[in-house]
Amino acid sequence: MATIKDVARRAGVAISTASAAINRSAPVSQDVIDRVEKAVRDIGYVPHGAAQSLRIGQSRLIGLILPDITNPHFSNVAKIVESACLKIGYMAAVYSTNEDFDRERQILRMMRAQRVAGLIIIPTRSDIEHGKRLAEEIHVPTILLDSFVKGLPYDVIKLDNVRAGRLATEYLLDLGHSRIAVTGGRDNIITGEDRLRGYFEAHAARGVAVQPRLQIAGRFLQAVAHESTLALMRAPEPPTAIFSLSNMMTLGVLNALRELKLSVPTDVSVISIDDFDYANIMNPPPTVVAAPVTEMAQTAIDQLFQQILSKSKPTSSVAQFSPELIVRESCRSPAGDDHAS
């Protein structure tokens, strides 16, 4: 079985240097790290994880806590984080909270028992009371992704959600729509609140009144958006366009329109925040406002490792990423309007 001595010999460095490169326990140049990691792969050396954990008081494990791993948006985040961890000798433990704080707290306590080196969390709530509860459970370097929690000092990686909401709404307004429905998020989640704020700002900037009846329940859930869309489209004066604040709610909206035998975009336009992996085979391919998921997830893991290795404290910094409007085929001008589609 290969030993650390074999790794050092193959990489052409001292045993202590090889150990420092593997464990990130002392400053080592990137060239040395690359040589040592190549040697590890070449000879199949496996560090003794349990012994390392006992020695340094933590494992080579990163906890990734997501709302719902079945959501393609979050599963993409998991894949990126997992790959980044493996590249530098860490493992990622991925858990879903199902938007439940008790489950979130249970996961955090389990992660603490496993002596995780750090955490990346998409929190279940954003309010200050929730922040106080989380602060009692978190005792390692932590990055908040996609959202933030009031009162917590951790660094935040997020989309400019107000801008995302404005981009989607402005696009529909530019096409000539004035009755634009919007599927809402959940209470105490700043992500949905900011996207909805962008919706209101776009209307205000164009001098178009927002009709309260067009704000329908969604809660970031496919089933809720489905039922709300059915009810809205059956009511008098249905909207000519629907803006969905998330990909899962978009699926609920599209399913409801299909059940009602309404054509997208001929009868109603649909735009969404969050892209779809297989958008090109959807009928029609959806127009979306997309987040740079790869860049955001990679930034989160980079900042987390920097804190772990330097033992530095969080600075409460917020790295905000710009959304991108991707125009496909699910939006057009309202029927009878001569705007270009």
CATH number of residue 271's parent domain: 3.40.50.2300
pLDDT attached to residue 25: 63
Which among 86, 41, 35 is positioned nearest to 20, based on CA atoms? 35
Residue 168 forms part of a structural domain: yes
Same domain? For 257 and 167 the reply is: yes
Same domain? For 241 and 231 the reply is: yes
DSSP 3-state of 125? coil
75 to each of 156, 180, 233, 273, how far by Cα in Å?
19, 30, 32, 16
Same domain? For 173 and 250 the reply is: yes
- CA-to-CA distance for 219 and 197, rounded, in angstroms? 16
102 to each of 108, 123, 133, 214, how far by Cα in Å?
10, 12, 11, 33
Strand partners, 325: 289
Same domain? For 38 and 61 the reply is: no
Q: What's the pTM value of the predicted model, to 2 decimals?
A: 0.82
Same domain? For 171 and 277 the reply is: yes
Residue 80 forms part of a structural domain: yes
Residue 88 forms part of a structural domain: yes
Same domain? For 113 and 233 the reply is: no
DSSP 3-state of 158? strand
Same domain? For 282 and 217 the reply is: yes
Examine the fold and report which residue of 291, 312, 336 is the final residue of a domain before the chain moves on: 291
Residues near 88 by Cβ (< 8 Å), separated by ≥ 6? 24, 37, 305
Length of the chain: 341
pLDDT attached to residue 48: 57
DSSP 3-state of 78? helix
Residue 28 forms part of a structural domain: yes
Residue 309 forms part of a structural domain: yes
Same domain? For 149 and 173 the reply is: no
Q: Position 13: which residue type?
A: V
Q: Token pair for residue 199?
A: 């919706």
pLDDT attached to residue 24: 64
Q: What is the dihedral of CA 128, 133, 137, 139, to 10 degrees?
A: 30
CA angle 196-294-332, nearest 5°?
A: 45
Same domain? For 178 and 71 the reply is: no
Range of the domain at 282: 161-291
Residue 147 forms part of a structural domain: yes
pLDDT attached to residue 196: 97
| Domain count within the chain | 3
Residue 338 forms part of a structural domain: no
DSSP letter, residue 212: G
- CA-to-CA distance for 312 and 306, rounded, in angstroms? 8
Residues of the chain scoring pLDDT < 50: 50-51, 53-57, 338, 340-341
pLDDT attached to residue 56: 46
Same domain? For 256 and 317 the reply is: no
Helices then strands, counting H and E runs in the chain, come out as: 12, 12
Q: Token pair for residue 42?
A: 């070449």
Same domain? For 265 and 175 the reply is: yes
Residue 217 forms part of a structural domain: yes
Same domain? For 180 and 272 the reply is: yes
